Chains A and B, each alone.
Chain A
Amino acid sequence: MTKSFDILIVGIGGQGTILASNILGEACLREGRHVKGAETHGMAQRGGSVETHIRIDGEFGPLIVPGTADLLVSFDLLEALRYSHYLREGGKMVVNRHMVLPTSVFTQKIPAPKEEEIAAQLSRFAPCIIDADQIAVEAGSALAQNVVILGAASWSIPLKAESLLEAVKKLVPPKTVAVNTKAFELGRAAGTAP
């Protein structure tokens, strides 16, 4: 088997997983690396749980097998737990502390785990948990949370931070380049260097 670096990005429909995937793909192109990915479309975009697979240096299929991801990036605390079985032993995890409660909690009265309970369950992965919403607001827009998290995760991605930032600048709406640049930099500062 060839070795690719496998990243799973998860979150809730509408949080910008596809943009994050495009940023990684664009950064790979800039570095002349092969990249494969698979993403959730259609129904899952209606506020459902979404997952995007990205395999840097991937040569074959786009899917990551549970237990083999090198990095899990989650835009929501609960979704990080839902997909945590994808991570390999020793894999890295970068997670937004923010959590959106699923509507099923209210309509079907399904108990939801508390923030501390989820953090405790995730602790064996030594996750980097960051307040992306707060940092995004500081950068100028709450909508930039995905770029904040990407910045925080950039330490664990085998691509140059400059390539990622250039990709961010190319792919976000032109009006928001300054905000997203700041979001990426603040996110990177909030992340943990290995």
Chain B
Amino acid sequence: MERQYLLGNEAIAHACLESGIGFVSGYPGTPSSEVVDVLRTVKDPGYHVEWSVNEKVALENALAAAWSGLRAICTMKHVGLNVAADPLMTSAYTGVTGGFVILSADDPFAHSSQNEQDTRCYAHFARLPCLDPAGVQEAHDMIPAAFAISEEFSLPVIFRPTTRICHSKGDVTLGKAVPNTRKGEFHKDPRQYVVIPAHTRILHKKLNEKQPALKKRLVELGFNHATVAGKTAVIASGIGASYVQELLPKGVSFMKIGAYPIDEGWLGEFARKHEKILVIEELAPVVEEAVRQVAGCVPVFGKINGYAPYEGELNPAIVAAVMVKAGFLKENPFATRDAVQNLPPRPPILCAGCHHRAAFYAMKKVFGELAIYPSDIGCYTLGLQLGAVDTTICMGASITVGSGLAHSDATRDVVCTIGDSTFLHTGVQGLMNAVYNGANMTVVILDNRITAMTGHQPNPNTGLTAAGVETPPVSLDALCRACGATFVETIDPYDMTGMLNVLEAAKAKPGVKVIIAKQMCVIVARRTGVKRGRYVVNPEICIGCGTCVRFGCPAIEFADKMARINDLCSGCAVCARLCPTGAIAKEGRK
């Protein structure tokens, strides 16, 4: 038994190794990404590991491995589960033979997400068991149990950590890694794996028949447990349970829900012992609705009657406030403190030297303020601060939203941006559709050959697999041409003149024009030792016009009515090309 100070995701990854994992897949998404990132760096792993092109692909691959008797995990974030929802719903019918864990990490407060949906609702929808850890150690300990439950009930098990589990740390007691000793073997059984209506009607009945035993087992396993201590009770789930335990006064009963579905009989028996119940959970009122169904006349406090918030992330202060409001705590132990107002914000921005900034600059220069700029999910969403992102919905939606706009508002230019990973995720279908249906638009693929936002995971455009094996990269140019686009140009966005020219050419032509703005991610460049040298401003030539500062690069500052370049400079030279007086040059050159 070893103790380490680990990130929740690292602890989860280690628990997979302790479970004899045989297959790993996923699509990166904050806060889930580090699970596969840890598992892909294990030497001689004894399992297949891949970053898949999207979550549906990841789930289907892992499902097949679990059908073959291996223990498989696939990881994603909550919005990724929407992409994988199609196979998810049917995988509950087919079931599995090897243990199958679907990790879908939720992000209350949308720290880095486009919405705040609750994975537990999908578990309920699909009638699949769902484990909901309350801390890092529990997240670790639940993983072997999740594989065991999956094998006991022949069902995929959903594992739902939240940002505060994935990205929190703790001293974790680890078990021993167990190598995968199973050999995958698929046994044909069309009645199980071919979901034609005649089979599926039977499979659906079987899925429903599994539910009562499953509910009982989750109580037996101790994931759902309760201590009766008085006439009032707090029922909590996930990280909220940790906050409640820190605040809980003596003489108040406590129930912790760590797994779904909840056994109604057991829950009802607990509820009836109390005169008043408070439910604390993040996002959707999943536990609360179950409690209300069995509580009878016992008053229940929670989201539904306005005592707790539906949106955002819980913290001990919010939980204390809810407990006070509902009469479970005399006073809030936390004084309200206001942050200092009117400080200049420091939101995340595109890195100094990021070529996306140059691409956005060129786009705006050529197409102007009137054009519409749909964008997508990735680092380049930060182009919002450069005024070059008008819409963002979900992965792959830049091209589809763009073509929709182009067909609807024909008087304006539509220029959409999408990253290479996102294009391969679900952008290709949109491009195919836009070309086939005759849209007029420009698609700029911001190609840095890596999935940068989530921590530089490789994708089929990188030329390396998750395990670091070289592999032929996809040709984005050929792929776009295969989708029917005839105007496909690849350009280095650091070459400002070339970029402006190709955008002008695109603007002049009808149809779908694709520009692949290709350059290495600056973080990858720095890590691989690329040194371009730094740029400096010559104070004798600088007229303080501010052109370079408006470019928005964090390496350029303005002091004493003059520009200055700081230590962040990565030597991309774009500012030198923009400067109207030629005051910016490579350090050491005149």
Contacts and interface: CB of A to CB of B under 8 A. Distances in A.
Interface of A: 1-2, 12-13, 21-22, 25-26, 28-29, 33-49, 58-63, 65-68, 78-79, 81-86, 100-107, 110-113, 121
Given A60-B243, A62-B164, A103-B553, 6 more contacts: A25-B171, A34-B170, A35-B170, A47-B349, A65-B334, A66-B336
Contacts of A21: 169
Contact of A25 (B5, B31, B167): B5
Contact of B344 (A41, A85, A102): A102
Contacts of B349: 46-48, 103
Nearest to B386: A107
Given A44-B348, A47-B351, A101-B557, A37 B247 contact: no
A92 to B, nearest CB: 17
Nearest to A21: B169
B333 to A, nearest CB: 7
B206 interface: no
A34 B171 CA distance: 6
B448 to A, nearest CB: 13
A21 B550 CA distance: 35
Contacts of A2: 246
Contacts of A67: 334-337
Given A46-B382, A104-B345, A22 B167 contact: no
Nearest to A54: B169
A107 B5 CA distance: 40
B340 A45 contact: no
B contacts with A: majority SS: loop
B340 A46 contact: no
Nearest to B566: A100
A21 B247 CA distance: 25
B346 A66 contact: no
B346 A49 contact: yes
Contacts, number: 166
B509 interface: no
A25 B3 CA distance: 11
Interface centre among A38, A44, A83 (most CB of B within 10 A): A38
B553 to A, nearest CB: 8
Contacts of A62: 164, 168-170
Contact of A81 (B170, B340, B454): B340
Given A25-B169, A66-B317, A85-B339, A61 B243 contact: yes
Contact of A42 (B111, B239, B550): B111
Interface string B2-16: 011101000000000
Contacts of A101: 344, 557
Contacts of A41: 30-31, 112, 167
B501 interface: no
A42 B30 contact: yes
Nearest to A171: B5
B552 interface: yes
Interface string B210-226: 00000000000000000
10 contacts: A35-B169, A36-B170, A37-B170, A39-B169, A40-B167, A48-B348, A49-B347, A58-B170, A85-B338, A107-B385
A61 B348 contact: no
B511 interface: no
A39 B6 CA distance: 12
A115 B50 CA distance: 49
Given A29-B171, A43-B112, A61-B316, A48 B347 contact: yes
Interface in B283-334: 315-317, 333-334
A21 B171 CA distance: 12
Q: Lowest 3 A-B CB distances belong to which pairs?
A: A25-B5, A48-B348, A42-B30
A1 to B, nearest CB: 6
B549 interface: yes
Contacts of A84: 340
B379 interface: yes
B181 interface: no
Nearest to A59: B246
A63 B247 CA distance: 13
Interface in B245-268: 245-247
Contacts of A104: 344-347
Given A39-B167, A86-B337, A102 B346 contact: yes
A84 B341 CA distance: 11
A61 B242 contact: yes
Contacts of B243: 60-61, 63
B558 interface: yes
Given A21-B169, A60-B245, A85-B340, A48 B346 contact: yes
A34 to B, nearest CB: 6
B1 interface: no
Given A22-B5, A62-B164, A111-B344, A82 B315 contact: no
B453 A43 contact: yes
Contacts of B316: 61, 63, 65
Contact of B351 (A33, A46, A68): A46
Interface in B449-467: 453-454
B545 to A, nearest CB: 13
Please indicate which of the listed interface residues B349, B550, B557 has the most CB atoms of chain A within 10 Å of its own CB: B349
A40 to B, nearest CB: 8
B350 interface: yes
B554 interface: yes
A33 B552 CA distance: 45
Contacts of A46: 348-351, 379, 382
B340 A121 contact: yes
B112 A29 contact: no
A81 B343 CA distance: 9
Contacts of B351: 46-47
Interface string B379-409: 1001001000000000000000000000000
Contacts of A68: 334
A37 B167 CA distance: 9
B441 interface: no
Contacts of B4: 29
Which residue, B340, B351, B379, has most C-beta atoms of chain A within 10 A? B340
B203 interface: no
B169 A36 contact: yes
Given A61-B316, A65-B317, A26 B340 contact: no
B335 to A, nearest CB: 5
B444 interface: no
Contacts of B515: none
Given A1-B246, A29-B5, A102 B345 contact: yes
Nearest to A133: B567
A106 B556 contact: yes
A105 B550 CA distance: 11
